[in-house]
Amino acid sequence: MYGNQQGDIKVKTNVSGDYTKDNVAKENGTGIVDFFFNGAGSFTKTKFKVVERGNEAPSIGSDSSEKIMTSATVNKVLSKNYYTMIMMQADDAKNLSNKSLVHEMMANGKAISVFAGSNKILSGGLNNIAPLEDMKPTLYYFTYNFYKNQSEGLNRTDSYFNASKVFVTELLNHQDLKWEPNFEFGITNLASLHSLGVIEYP
């Protein structure tokens, strides 16, 4: 697992290293890998301006931004082996268009199967060691059930559909005030999320 250790927003748990092009490419070089991306790979130091009595001072800070998952870079980074992926970023498969990032990965790259959103994906804030009960209102409950299904022997396609069913059932059973914001986000996420690429049959 890799995460941002630079810039203004750093991971708060132990990771194997920075979320960089080199580290992602290294994982891709190990063989066919199932990736889970929850961010675009952006290290930034905020630029801000100080305005005092109408006089604007020069910018303070600097930009150091690296984008891994862009149409221009993704097939260079993930060039060594075929792969599958879950993408929890916004608009990765925007409008299911041939101009989307996922189309570039599948048409011109080595992506086999990708789960991605045709609209906004709202993962919500959640501690990565949160109890399962706290995970249920969020899209991470779908992710948990997807990998649980796979560990129990289901193929990728069936795991996706079973996890979607469990997640939406949980949402529909909990429409109380505690769940209200996540209920809306959850329905939006499931409407947006698509299983794209190769479909596996038993």
Domain identity same for 1 and 95: yes
The last residue of a domain, from among 101, 121, 141 = 121
Q: Is the pLDDT of residue 30 over 90?
A: yes
Count of structural domains, the chain: 2
Domain identity same for 158 and 82: no
Residue 38's pLDDT is 73
Domain identity same for 56 and 144: no
Give 124: exposed, middle or buried? Use CB within 10 Å, 0-12, 13-18, 19+: middle
pTM: 0.77
Instruction: Transcribe 105-163 into DSSP letters.
Output: HHHHS-EEEEEEESS--------TT--HHHHTTSHHHHHHHHHHHHHTT--HHHHHHHH
- Using alpha carbons only, how large is the chain's radius of gyration in Å? 19
Q: Is the pLDDT of residue 61 over 60?
A: no
Residue scoring higher pLDDT (22 or 13): 22
Domain identity same for 98 and 3: yes
Place of tokens 């109408």: 54
Cβ-contact 49, 59 below 8 angstroms: yes
Q: Is the pLDDT of residue 119 over 50?
A: yes
Write out the residue range of the structural domain in which residue 176 sits.
122-202
**Mean pLDDT lowest among 34-43, 110-119, 179-188:** 34-43
Task: Place 151 in a pLDDT band, splitting at 50, 70 and 90.
Answer: very high
